[in-house]
Chains A and B, each alone.
Chain A
Amino acid sequence: MQLPPESLGGWGLVVALCGGAMRGSIPYMFVSLGECLTEKSGKINLGMEGVLLMGAMTAFGVSDLTGSPWLGVLAAAAAGLLLGALHAWMTQQPAVNDVAAGIAMILFGSGLAFFFGKRFVAPMAPQLPLLNLGGWSHTPAVASALRISPLFFVGIALSFLLHWVFTRTRWGLQIRATGDDPQAARALGIDVNRVRFFAITAGGGLAAIGGAHLTLYFPGIWSEGISGGQGLMAVALVIFARWSPRRCLAAALLFGGAQALGPSLQSLGINGYYHLFNASPYLLTLAVMIATCSPNRSLTGMPGALGKK
């Protein structure tokens, strides 16, 4: 998105960052919500980077072939469900380590995405329509920052929905019980394997929608470097958000803003350390992890069975 912020002076950076946060947060939002759902059931899916790439490629391909970006979003979710189901099935086999399985799924998912995506590298697919909320402003920078993808609002709604599911519904209770203490959950008559299969599969589906945003939003192209580790950072973000869907939302906005820092500074003419500024989300994630993790492994809000066999 090209912003001419000179007219706004220092505020230009703020507007660019806020606009960037609303655009850039979408993949983080969906992947972290999907991961939150997965981890609430007591399992980790580190393979979200592969899911994100697969979602991005599928959404782009289906949108290009059918002309309907919304079909692309649905197809991406379906691809994510399949990868999620594979991860869920694998990690339920005895002696299969879920962290190692996640690494394998990153390789497998990105391999499939690059394989099928080869033919789509050049063209441009139909993009999702944008909601124009900045019509009232005469400043082009503000107006363009307020052209928002509908997926942004879908993501916000989802985070509140998930919060409601976790705290107010029978399903949510079953998922939390499974994640906190599978033995006790079994004693209550909960089918732990089925609950986990459902949570991990659905989590993959959610995450893949974030991938759809990567290719169905400006500039609307598919390339192999498109996800740039966002799937992985979103996994770290769930720890930062202490396994709460609503805090995932806030953290996603923060990360989206950090991602916009490099391009925003560049648009202000500051491009001396372009590559280093662009790396700020990675640095931020690392800093946040160092600040919030603890070696004795008892973090508030952490599902009890997480990381245990």
Chain B
Amino acid sequence: MKLKGPDLFVPLGAVAAAMLVFGVFCAALGVNPLGVYASLWKAGFGSWYSWQNTLVRASPLLLCGLCTALPARAGIIVIGNEGAVVVGGLGAITAGLSTAQMPSLVSLTFMVLAAMLCGGLWIAFSVALQHYRGVSAVISGLLLNYLAIALMNQLIEGPLRDPSSFNSPATFPLPLDHRLGFFSGTHVHHGLLFGVIGCLVAWFLVERTTFGFSMKVAGGNVRTAKLVGLPVGRLVVMAGFLGGACAGIAGMVEVAAVHGRGNESLNAGYGYTGILVAFLARQSPLGVMLFSVLVGGLVAGSGMLQRAHDLPDATITVLEGTLFLFILLSDTVYGRLKIPGGKANAVAA
């Protein structure tokens, strides 16, 4: 993928404009915006320790961003990421607990595969509904999020419940050596590798393979795709499956690296934030890498805003919403700006 001038300047300009508006919002509430941004910088990127926090947050975001970015290439807006994370996590913990007697590596492999299958089928179902039945994947995806959460609550309070977990129901824990490890000397877990590899593979798939090209044709113009004989339905559903499989792995990572068991924290909002990451990245897998770290830093800084400025944790949600609005508004600039080498570049959406 060749980066053109506007590909870089327009999103960064949108981010700057959103930060300006959010700054005015803070100032109107009597909080010094420069102080807020200084705190966010310090908590997200100010030291090696805060970088580690940011990377821990970024690792599920990389995978959740792909869950929206990959199907977007095939022309479908997927926002069922949260549900795919939850069912992926449930699949992983079920596989992990039933292979607890096997060697650690075998068990972890089963967990990854189960998570990919659960998350993948979850999103593939929603995408197939749009393609074959005309049910908006946006609506079915959000409904499936609520269904996944209900399923999770039913399972962790019922069949999967560890009887010793009283106040916050959870499953039995994974054996200690069946969890993902940490990079030495840090508290960053190996789940980050899944995210980075996922983004690189996705980039290769989208930009360098026939499959990725066919996907883009199907997403660009269904009629053209059908005329040249592409199996549009299969391509679109496959893109959904791959995206969902990524979000499923994010659930597996949360289970196998962060919590060590399945509990309510699976529904921590990474799926929703992943949608924002994908749109900020204009659905490009490499862009997802960049913006996962940026947004991961924001998420890591939300606690700091509470402590240092007495702002509620939803402050970050307001900033995220503002960013989202501005990045969409920036689409309107593309056709109008006359920058040498830049031309209208509408995201398939």
A289 to B143, CA, bound (A): 11
| Residue A275, interface by CB 8 Å | yes
* Shortest Cβ gap from A227 to chain B (Å): 11
Interface 9-residue window, one of B49-57, B107-115, B328-336? B328-336
| Residue B9, interface by CB 8 Å | no
Of the candidates B129, B157, B321, B349, the one whose C-beta lies within 8 Å of that of A109 is B321
* Shortest Cβ gap from B12 to chain A (Å): 18
User: If the complex has contacts A107-B321, A115-B312, A286-B143, are A100 and B153 also in contact, measured as CB distance less than 8 A?
Assistant: no
A52 to B147, CA, bound (A): 20
For chain B, the bracket of interface size reads 35 or more
Interface 9-residue window, one of A87-95, A134-142, A167-175, A189-197? A87-95
A120 to B147, CA, bound (A): 29
Taking a contact as CB atoms under 8 Å apart, the answer to whether B135 and A114 are in contact is no
**Chain A contacts of B335 at CB under 8 A?**
94-95
A94 to B346, CA, bound (A): 11
| Residue B142, interface by CB 8 Å | yes
Taking a contact as CB atoms under 8 Å apart, the answer to whether B129 and A290 are in contact is yes
Taking a contact as CB atoms under 8 Å apart, the answer to whether A103 and B79 are in contact is yes
* Shortest Cβ gap from A137 to chain B (Å): 34
| Residue B254, interface by CB 8 Å | no
Of the candidates A95, A104, A118, A236, the one whose C-beta lies within 8 Å of that of B321 is A104
Taking a contact as CB atoms under 8 Å apart, the answer to whether B332 and A95 are in contact is yes
Taking a contact as CB atoms under 8 Å apart, the answer to whether B317 and A90 are in contact is no
Of the candidates A97, A110, A117, the one whose C-beta lies within 8 Å of that of B328 is A97
Taking a contact as CB atoms under 8 Å apart, the answer to whether B312 and A108 are in contact is no
Which of A100, A236, A290 has the most chain B CB atoms inside 10 A of its CB? A100
Which of A86, A103, A290 has the most chain B CB atoms inside 10 A of its CB? A103
Taking a contact as CB atoms under 8 Å apart, the answer to whether B317 and A114 are in contact is yes
* Shortest Cβ gap from A125 to chain B (Å): 19
Taking a contact as CB atoms under 8 Å apart, the answer to whether B314 and A118 are in contact is yes
| Contact residues of B between 90 and 144, Cβ < 8 Å to A | 129, 131-136, 138-140, 142-144
A229 to B318, CA, bound (A): 19
Taking a contact as CB atoms under 8 Å apart, the answer to whether A118 and B154 are in contact is no
For the complex of A and B, 9 pairs with smallest distance between CB atoms: A108-B321, A111-B317, A114-B314, A279-B150, A118-B312, A104-B324, A111-B318, A295-B134, A107-B321
Taking a contact as CB atoms under 8 Å apart, the answer to whether B324 and A103 are in contact is yes
User: If the complex has contacts A114-B314, A276-B150, are A108 and B325 also in contact, measured as CB distance less than 8 A?
Assistant: yes
A109 to B329, CA, bound (A): 17
| Residue B183, interface by CB 8 Å | no
**Chain B contacts of A297 at CB under 8 A?**
134
| Residue B66, interface by CB 8 Å | no
Interface 9-residue window, one of B185-193, B223-231, B242-250, B271-279? B271-279
Taking a contact as CB atoms under 8 Å apart, the answer to whether B328 and A46 are in contact is no
**Chain B contacts of A124 at CB under 8 A?**
none
| Residue B32, interface by CB 8 Å | no
**Chain A contacts of B346 at CB under 8 A?**
95
| Residue A65, interface by CB 8 Å | no
Given A107-B317, A275-B154, 10 new contacts (CB under 8 A): A95-B332, A103-B79, A111-B318, A112-B318, A115-B312, A276-B150, A279-B147, A282-B147, A289-B135, A294-B133
* Shortest Cβ gap from A208 to chain B (Å): 17
Taking a contact as CB atoms under 8 Å apart, the answer to whether A99 and B138 are in contact is yes
A105 to B325, CA, bound (A): 7
Taking a contact as CB atoms under 8 Å apart, the answer to whether B132 and A275 are in contact is no
Of the candidates B136, B142, B324, the one whose C-beta lies within 8 Å of that of A107 is B324
A176 to B285, CA, bound (A): 41
A166 to B39, CA, bound (A): 52
A115 to B309, CA, bound (A): 14
A285 to B145, CA, bound (A): 13
| Contact residues of B between 20 and 57, Cβ < 8 Å to A | none
| Residue A283, interface by CB 8 Å | yes
A97 to B327, CA, bound (A): 12
16 pairs across A/B with beta carbons < 8 Å? A46-B138, A90-B329, A95-B332, A95-B346, A103-B324, A107-B317, A108-B318, A111-B317, A111-B318, A114-B314, A229-B145, A232-B142, A236-B139, A275-B157, A285-B143, A286-B135
**Chain A contacts of B157 at CB under 8 A?**
275
**Chain B contacts of A7 at CB under 8 A?**
none
Taking a contact as CB atoms under 8 Å apart, the answer to whether B321 and A229 are in contact is no
| Residue A223, interface by CB 8 Å | no
- Smallest CB-CB separation from A262: which chain B residue? B150
**Chain A contacts of B317 at CB under 8 A?**
107, 110-111, 114-115
**Chain A contacts of B144 at CB under 8 A?**
286
A99 to B139, CA, bound (A): 10
| Residue B221, interface by CB 8 Å | no
User: If the complex has contacts A115-B315, A279-B150, are A296 and B349 also in contact, measured as CB distance less than 8 A?
Assistant: no
Of the candidates B129, B150, B332, the one whose C-beta lies within 8 Å of that of A278 is B150
**Chain B contacts of A104 at CB under 8 A?**
279, 321, 324-325, 328
